[in-house]
Amino acid sequence: MIFIRKCTFLLVIRQSLCYDSYKSNAPQVQEGNCLMINIPKMKVGIVAVSRDCFPESLSVNRRKALVDAYTQKYNAEDIYECPVCIVESEIHMVQALDDLKKAGCNALCVYLGNFGPEIAETLLAKHFDGPKMFCAAAEENTGVLSSSRGDAYCGMLNASYNLKLRGVKAYIPEYPVGTAEECADMIHEFEPIARAVVGLSDLKIISFGPRPLNFLACNAPIQQLYNIGVEIEENSELDLFEAFNKHAGDERIPAIVKEMEEELGAGNKKPEILPKLAQYEITLKDWVEEHKGYRKYVALTSKCWPAFQTQFGFVPCYVNSRLTAQGIPVSCEVDIYGTLSEFIGTVVSQDTVTLLDINNSVPKDMYKNDIEGKYNYTQKDTFMGFHCGNTASSKLSFCEMKYQKIMARTLPEEVTQGTLEGDIVPGDITFYRLQSTADNKLRAYVAQGEVLPVATRSFGAIGVFAIPEMGRFYRHVLVEKGFPHHGAVAFGHFGKELFEVFKYIGVPVDEIGYNQPAGVKYPTENPWG
């Protein structure tokens, strides 16, 4: 039986609010009860286009209907209706670009209200500085077929041809032709993709130290970071230790300790370590503020063992979880592409994510007693995702501050305190990762599944995961493609959005792995089983 006691989720708000200096320069997103910083706020400019042999009014009126439909279903603040309709004119294109810039748009929707001008519309996409999408108007009814047919269905082919001719990246929905309501849905589906692209273009990853000994799996060639527009600042863990020591006695420590106490509640089993953890949290936040430079968004990763414990006197897991809950992902073990993956999931989902080891198999007795016959999964579909204690309290069914049991096997227990332990909340999840291989190739995977409401009977931040056909995915994607042991977890099903993000930023489609359904073989899978 799982004992459900939510740790105080509203404390995340307080954690965010206390970071005033950073907040003042970064957008905030309200999602449920959670106020998250470090996430772009999107404004999609909608530009209608028209070919000169078609009535301009057809595109303009269809654009107005699209905007009305979006406003009725979603947040009107997320879109902007550009008054310039581009009609076979590069001058109109320049006027539209100028108008979008003045309106503060950071994403673009080129809307084919009729056939559209293939040159001007693709030049608009080329010169717009931000993610862009194309969609097209469907014919409303039989009444338009003789006098006011738009032929945008045909125009979309010309648009896509010209985008490829000019080497312009653009998101095109699965079926990009629709009614005003359907195109409104397409724009809404584009927004998390655009949010990720905008976020990556202004992201700095800050790292501390090299990866731990014998952790070649966290090898991270940085060329691909630059290729997708991400900056990186690499520091020694000594730099971090020096900064931490300079924060001794910081006047902000008691307030952060109080937040931690309220968040942990009855799970505060190591109160003596909280002042040091608070000091460390303030150190990281100040470092972000002082080192983000010209970038708007930041993610962190650090060498968290083995010397960290003996020198700092604690483990950083709980602090990592708190920052991640605020929208500032922190990965363990200098996993640069792990924290990059976390950031992508954060901006796509607008929710807290985590990074876990794809850790251990589910024992047969647990499967027999708690899963078989209750859930439609084989034992090979299941595994346990675990990390020491870096998962945010809002994503744990219960939580307790404890010590790192694995590290305590070789170190004094008192220097291993600071983990946040508990079973991960059951529900839908997406397991995913973006990775640069050792030979500098971009590769990714996405798999949707769920965390089962099964007591783990274990330690750390841990859950029982189930992904359809996980056994085959494990062998022919994770093992075959050489992915490391860390996987990012988004809480909900975001496979569609993440797949499109990876495509947009340049991951080859054949390098995006996913769990193939039963009966569909992987290229490396033996056809005879």
DSSP 371: I
- Look-up: residue for tokens 């003042």? 24
Residues 63 and 373 sit within 8 Å (Cβ to Cβ): no
Q: What is the distance between the alpha carbons of residues 262 and 196, in angstroms, rounded to a whole number? A: 33
Residue type, 375: Y
pLDDT at 270: 92
Q: How far is CA 366 from CA 231, 361, 378, 503, in A?
A: 44, 10, 12, 38
Which structure tokens are listed for 499? 């797949």
Q: What is the distance between the alpha carbons of residues 338 and 497, in angstroms, rounded to a whole number? A: 18
CATH tag for 202-514 (out of 3.40.50.720, 3.65.10.10, 3.40.275.10, 3.30.428.10): 3.40.275.10
Q: What is the distance between the alpha carbons of residues 469 and 397, in angstroms, rounded to a whole number? A: 26
Count the alpha carbons within 13 Å of 404 in the hemisphere toward its beta carbon.
26
Query: What totals of helices (H) and strands (E) does the chain contain, helices first?
Result: 17, 21
Each of the 529 residues of the chain gets a pLDDT tens digit; together they read 333 444 443 333 333 333 343 343 444 544 433 457 899 999 999 999 999 989 999 999 999 999 999 999 999 999 999 999 999 899 999 999 999 999 999 999 999 999 999 999 999 999 999 999 999 999 999 988 888 899 999 999 999 999 999 999 999 999 999 999 999 999 999 999 999 999 999 999 999 988 777 777 777 789 999 999 999 999 999 999 999 999 999 999 999 999 999 999 999 999 999 999 999 999 999 999 999 999 999 999 999 888 898 999 999 999 999 999 999 999 989 999 999 999 999 999 999 999 999 999 999 999 999 999 999 999 999 999 999 889 999 999 999 999 888 888 988 999 999 999 999 999 999 999 999 988 899 999 999 999 999 999 999 999 999 999 999 999 999 999 999 999 999 999 999 999 999 999 999 999 999 999 999 999 999 988 8
pLDDT at 449: 98
Residues 324 and 298 sit within 8 Å (Cβ to Cβ): no
pLDDT at 147: 82
Question: What are the residue ranges spanned by the domains of the chain?
Answer: 44-199, 202-514
* Helices assigned H by DSSP within 82-174: 90-102, 118-127, 152-166
- Nearest Cα to 9, choosing from 360, 309, 393, 384? 393
- Nearest Cα to 212, choosing from 301, 283, 291, 287? 301
- Nearest Cα to 447, choosing from 426, 476, 423? 476
44-199 and 202-514 in the same fold: no
Which structure tokens are listed for 452? 């089962």
Q: What secondary structure does DSSP assign to 243-297, as a single string? A: HHHHTTT-TTHHHHHHHHHHHHGGG---GGGHHHHHHHHHHHHHHHHHH-TT-SE
Q: What is the distance between the alpha carbons of residues 342 and 329, in angstroms, rounded to a whole number? A: 6
Indicate if the alpha-carbon torsion angle 359, 363, 369, 375 is positive or negative. positive
Write b or e for each residue in 511-521: b if 16 or more Cβ atoms lie within 10 A of its Cβ, otherwise e.
bbbbbbeeeee
Cα three-residue angle 38-44-50, rounded to 5 degrees: 160
For 44-199, CATH gives 3.40.50.10940
- Nearest Cα to 391, choosing from 338, 477, 313, 324? 324
| CB within 8 Å of 363: residues ≥ 6 apart | none
pLDDT at 35: 54
| Cis amide prior to 210 (ω within 30 degrees) | no
The alpha carbon of residue 507 and the mean position of all alpha carbons in its chain are separated, in whole angstroms, by 16
Q: The whole model's pTM is what?
A: 0.93
pLDDT at 340: 98
Residue type, 197: V
pLDDT at 22: 39
Residue type, 382: T
Residue type, 441: K
The SS3 call for residue 140 is coil
